[in-house]
Amino acid sequence: MNGGDGGDNSGGMEARIARLEASMDFVKAELNKLSGVPVELARLSERVSHLPTKSDVDAAIDRAGARTQRTMAIVGGLVTVAVAAINYLPKLLG
Return d(Cα 67, Cα 73) in angstroms, integer: 10
Clarify whether residues 56 and 46 are in a common domain. no
Number of domains comprising the chain: 2
**Amino acid (1-letter code) at residue 39:** V
Q: Could you tell me if 60 and 68 are in contact, meaning their C-beta atoms sit under 8 angstroms apart?
A: no
Same domain for 93 and 72: yes
pTM: 0.42
State percent of the chain over pLDDT 70.
88
11 compared with 34, residue with greater pLDDT: 34
Partners of residue 2 on adjacent β-strands: 8
Contact 34, 25 (CB under 8 A): no
Q: Are residues 46 and 65 in the same domain?
A: no
- Residues forming beta bridges with residue 8, ordered by sequence position: 2
Band (pLDDT 50/70/90 cuts) for residue 57 is very high
Per-chain mean pLDDT for the chain: 87
